[in-house]
């Protein structure tokens, strides 16, 4: 089991409630979560329909149907708790939440960079993963674990 993010991963679901999502297949021109993230891997996700939305961390399972468990909510239309989704089709995507991306003069709780990145401002990072070319011109303080790939 690994943490993975990928571009152009988008499916739909008609799952209701607060439980694991049954995924209905890739939207045309996109990959499924199983193809883009991999079974048993965790990823950032966003689910949205109308005024309901949820952004979090979930685990992908290759099954019939494929599923996405919602293990940690980062933000939502339900005061940052699991959303009790109503009937109807919802869109589910792999995303990189704003609160998990670096910006100038921010204090990051978790920092993940998988592309060419420059850290120019002082940062305090609770934990993180740096992969790809990373240039640090500011001061980076890591209070937890840092993995550099």
- Asked whether residue 89 falls in the same domain as residue 16, the answer is yes
Most confident listed range (38-42, 100-104, 144-148): 38-42
Cα 113–Cα 118–Cα 120 angle in degrees, nearest 5? 125
Within-domain flag for 86 = yes
- Asked whether residue 80 falls in the same domain as residue 54, the answer is yes
**Is residue 91 helix, strand or coil?**
strand
The count of domains in the chain is 2
**Is residue 111 helix, strand or coil?**
strand
- Asked whether residue 71 falls in the same domain as residue 17, the answer is yes
For residue 12, the cross-strand partners are 91
Q: Which of 85, 51, 80 has its CA nearest to residue 68?
A: 85
- Asked whether residue 88 falls in the same domain as residue 18, the answer is yes
Question: When comparing pLDDT for 60 and 108, which is higher?
Answer: 60
- Asked whether residue 88 falls in the same domain as residue 113, the answer is no
Domain membership of residue 134 as a residue range: 101-148
- Asked whether residue 23 falls in the same domain as residue 82, the answer is yes
- Asked whether residue 72 falls in the same domain as residue 111, the answer is no
Within-domain flag for 14 = yes
- Asked whether residue 26 falls in the same domain as residue 62, the answer is yes
71-81 tens-digit pLDDT = 999 999 999 99
* Phi and psi based region of residue 36 (left: phi greater than 0; alpha: psi -120 to 50; beta: remaining): alpha
pLDDT range class, residue 2, cuts 50, 70, 90 = confident
Q: Is the pTM of this model over 0.85?
A: no
Within-domain flag for 2 = no
- Asked whether residue 18 falls in the same domain as residue 83, the answer is yes
Phi, psi of 14 (to 5 degrees): -115, 15
């Amino acid at each position: 089991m690994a943490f993975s993010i990928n571009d152009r991963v988008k499916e739909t679901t008609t799952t209701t409630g607060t439980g694991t999502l049954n995924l209905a297949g890739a939207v045309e021109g996109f990959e499924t979560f199983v193809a883009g993230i991999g079974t048993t891997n965790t990823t950032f996700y966003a689910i949205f329909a109308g005024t309901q939305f949820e952004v979090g961390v979930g685990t992908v399972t290759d099954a019939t149907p494929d599923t996405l468990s919602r293990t940690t909510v980062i933000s939502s239309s339900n005061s940052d708790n699991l959303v009790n989704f109503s009937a109807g089709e919802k869109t589910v995507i792999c995303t990189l939440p704003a609160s998990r991306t670096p910006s100038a003069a921010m204090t990051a709780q978790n920092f993940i960079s998988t592309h060419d990145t420059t850290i120019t401002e002082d940062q305090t990072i609770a934990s993180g993963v740096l992969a790809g070319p990373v240039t640090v011109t500011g001061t980076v303080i890591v209070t937890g674990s840092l993995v550099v790939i």
